Amino acid sequence: MSTISVSELLLLSPNEIEIEENVRLDPRLEGEFLASIAEHGVLVPVLAVRIDGQGKPLVREGQRRIQAARQVGLESVPVYVRTVDGSEEAVRARRVIEQIVTNDHRAPLTDAERARGIRQLLLDGVSPAKVAKGLSTTKDVVAAAKVAAESGSAMSALDAGQLTLEEAALFAEFDGDEEAQAVLLRYSGTASFAHRIAQLRIERQDKALRAAAAAEYAARGYTVLDRRPGYFDREYISVEDIRDAHGERLTNERAAAMDPQHWAVWLGSQEAYVDAETGEPVDEEDIDFDTADDPDLEPADDLRHFRSVTETTIWVAQY
């Protein structure tokens, strides 16, 4: 059986400490860890032992900190040294038990806890650059933490372990859209998450454009329908199924010239081209598509360069 006699807290050079055999074979000195040690030094004392009055302490727990301190050139590190004695087998058994226990029972910060901490630093006036440097992380991570921490739904998902910090920042974009966020939770942690974000952004933009178009028609006195009427609908009949007193088929153009109070409209999406600067509609037949891949190629006579237009979605009314 091994026993502990004397304990003391010392400031020692990392070169004054020997690294004894350890259950952790690979110290895994990542760049972020080395940067943190260089920036802050060793904040948590290393645990070391002296055996039978040996000169240099042996690292019991903290070999990563000692190796990192040596690598970045720290002059001293805090070391809690205990003197132990006992048989070789008993001392070795205690070493293995302590090394396993001290590693097994560490609980790293969750992404949610990290995000709240970063937000507090920012609220206290610490610049994003200083936060990133102090935490040995990137400005992008700091920005993501700020966005996530300001969203109740994102933080709930982070607390539940449903999202990563980066995913939570994107998830927060869709606050107020429960349907979209439910979709994202199904794809969290997969390669499809970014694809779903892109799709939802497009859908959100389309909804906004449709809402704007709907508002314009409503302001002019039209009833704007939320669904396209079916073929057998008797309340709303498509203009294509209506004839005038002479038996001629009505058209959208003729309906548009009539009193809006007598008409409802269904808005359908359609791909179209607009002038890249003014946003004015451009007829597809006026575009020289051969210039699409060559900005220096002159368009054919009476046609315009493809780079002068932008493809967009417009909302066309069916009466």
> Which domains does the chain carry?
3-104 (3.90.1530.10), 111-190 (no CATH), 210-318 (no CATH)
Work out the angle at residue 180's Cα, subtended by the Cα atoms of residues 176 and 183, and round it to the nearest 5 degrees: 140
pLDDT tens for the chain, 319 residues: list them: 445 566 888 899 999 888 877 666 677 788 888 888 898 899 889 888 887 666 788 888 888 889 999 999 999 999 998 887 777 777 777 777 777 777 776 667 889 988 999 999 899 898 999 999 888 889 999 999 999 999 999 999 999 999 999 999 999 999 999 999 999 999 999 999 999 999 999 889 888 889 999 999 999 999 999 988 888 888 898 888 889 888 888 898 999 999 999 999 999 888 889 888 888 889 999 999 999 998 899 999 999 999 999 888 888 899 9
Q: Which one-letter amino acid corresponds to residue 128?
A: P
Encode pLDDT of 104-161 as tens digits: 766 678 899 889 999 998 998 989 999 998 888 899 999 999 999 999 999 999 999 9
Residues 280/273, Cβ–Cβ less than 8 Å: no
Residues 158/115, Cβ–Cβ less than 8 Å: yes
**How many other CB atoms sit within 10 Å of the CB of residue 266?**
17
Write a three-state SS string for the chain. CCEEEEEEEEEECHHHCEECCCCCCCCCCCHHHHHHHHHHCCCCCEEEEEECCCCCCEEEECHHHHHHHHHHCCCCEEEEEEEEECCHHHHHHHHHHHHHHHHHCCCCCCHHHHHHHHHHHHHCCCCHHHHHHHCCCCHHHHHHHHHHHCCHHHHHHHHCCCCCHHHHHHHHHHCCCHHHHHHHHHHCCCCCHHHHHHHHHHHHHHHHHHHHHHHHHHHCCCEECCCCCCCCCCCCCCHHHCECCCCCECCHHHHHCCCHHHCEEEEEEEEEEEECCCCCEECHHHEEHHHCCCCCCCCCCCCEEHHHEEEEEEEEEEC
Cβ-Cβ contacts under 8 Å for 164 (sequence gap 6 or more)? 111, 188, 189
